[in-house]
Amino acid sequence: MAENEYVPLFETRQVKGRILFRCIAASILLGICFIVTYRIRYFPVGGKAERWTWIGLFLSELWFSFYWLLTTVCRWNAVIRIPFIHRLSQRFGKELPGIDIFVCTADPLLEPPSMVVNTVLSMMAYDYPPEKLSVYLSDDGGSNLTFYAMLEAANFSKTWLPFCKKFKVEPMSPEAYFRTASEPLNVQEWPSVK
pLDDT tens digits for range 5-18: 778 888 999 989 88
Residue 111, marked binder: yes
Alpha-carbon gap, residue 25 to 69, rounded angstroms: 9
What integer pLDDT is reported at residue 103 of this predicted model? 92
Instruction: Measure the CA–CA gap between 139 and 144, rounded to whole angstroms.
Output: 10
- Please state the pTM of the whole predicted model: 0.52
27 vs 41: CA distance, rounded Å: 21
Mean pLDDT of 157-178: 86
Interior angle at CA 151, CA 149 and CA 157, nearest 5:
100
What are the sequence ranges of the domains in the chain?
A: 11-79, 94-180
61 is in an annotated binding site: no
Report the DSSP pairing between strands 133-139 and 79-83.
unpaired
How many Cβ atoms from other residues are within 10 Å of residue 173's Cβ? 22
